[in-house]
Amino acid sequence: MLKSVVDIGSNSVVLLISKWNEHEWTTVYEDYKITRLGYRVKSTGNIQEEQALLTLEALRAFREISKKQSVAQEFYLATKAVRMAENKDWFLGLALESGFQITVLSGEEEARYGFLSVSQDPLFSKYDVISMIDPGAQSTELVIARKNKDIDPLGRDILFQHSFNIGALGLLEIIQDKEVIDENLKLVLEKEIDTVLQKESFQSLKNTPIVLGSPGTDLCIIHQGLEKWDISKVHGQKISREILEKGIELFSSKTSLERQAIPYMPKGRGETIHLGSIIVERFLKYLNEDFFYVSGKGWRHAILSNY
């Protein structure tokens, strides 16, 4: 049986089609389209009509792919942009008119499913304490958990869980769409992120940070020089602070078009990769760690078994 999960995020719409193979879900097809549904939602309070129409266009294209694959069950799930929009009902109604029943995940649910995609992954089971960082366009989720073998081999006790109002598109609004980030602007962004982070405290523990999706996957693709997406070459790779900071320096010095022209830059990521990378760097500082592992999976993968 095939299932599909469509992740309607603040910056992109992602389609995941998976097949059950005896003991696990195996990815059959995965792709994304940049629609920037969360563009200016923070400053205006509303989803913009152009972004809404682009998102519906992406949903229609992905439904056609699902039909061709004979998908038996579809899930359409939205996150922070729709959660925070004052005209949420308008967008959901527009989607329903087009035949899409969209469920809006809460911040807690988004964090939980993101965490499950890591905690249920045998690749990361050897680490005693893990921190899952899921950077988004309008929010970033953080979950810290310790292994608990009394529950099950992959079981963990959650020590901290929070959805922070920090995202790449939100930061873009703060700097008024400026493309090149000089040192002064970088300090403004760092202060904004640090102020939000410092409102939440937790027990400081030595932990293993794991970053879900972009920009971690993008940094890995660029660093390795991968011509196309290959999860086997990305998932579980280690990125040092040095590589991250060099990336931030490179990305911040360029315009959006110049960033997109960087060799091996994934499609559409040039607009926000610098901001997403700065978010990850500040979270590592918050956690007092100088590296992270990349997860090529996300909460959509956990939905398959846990929703």
Q: What is the average pLDDT value for the chain, to the nearest integer?
A: 94
Nearest Cα neighbor of 30 from 295, 218, 230, 302 is: 230
> CA–CA separation, 297 vs 307, rounded Å?
16
> CA–CA separation, 14 vs 136, rounded Å?
13
Domain spans in the chain, listed from the N-terminal domain onward: 2-104, 108-301
Sign of torsion over alpha carbons 170, 176, 178, 179: positive
Residue whose tokens read 């991250």: 244
> CA–CA separation, 8 vs 58, rounded Å?
10
pLDDT confidence of residue 196: 95
pLDDT digits (tens, 9 = 90+) for 170-189: 999 999 889 999 999 999 99
What tokens does 115 get?
């965490």
pLDDT confidence of residue 201: 80
Q: What is the DSSP code (8-state) at residue 228?
A: S
pLDDT confidence of residue 203: 67
pLDDT digits (tens, 9 = 90+) for 264-282: 999 999 999 999 999 999 9
Q: Identify the helix (H) or strand (E) that includes residue 125.
A: none
Contacts of 65 (CB under 8 A, 6+ apart): 15, 17, 29, 31
What tokens does 81 get?
């942009």
Q: Is the domain covering 2-104 a CATH 3.30.420.40 domain?
A: yes
| Cα-based distances in Å from 196 to 14, 44, 140, 162, 191 | 28, 20, 11, 11, 9
Contacts of 186 (CB under 8 A, 6+ apart): 252, 278
Domain 2-104 and domain 108-301, same fold? Reply is yes
pLDDT confidence of residue 23: 84
From the options 3.50.50.60, 1.10.3720.10, 3.30.420.150, 3.30.1340.10, give the CATH code of 108-301: 3.30.420.150
Nearest Cα neighbor of 25 from 225, 307, 269, 270 is: 307
Nearest Cα neighbor of 63 from 100, 90, 10 is: 100
Which residues in the chain land under pLDDT 70? 149-154, 203
pTM: 0.93
Nearest Cα neighbor of 295 from 226, 225, 219 is: 219
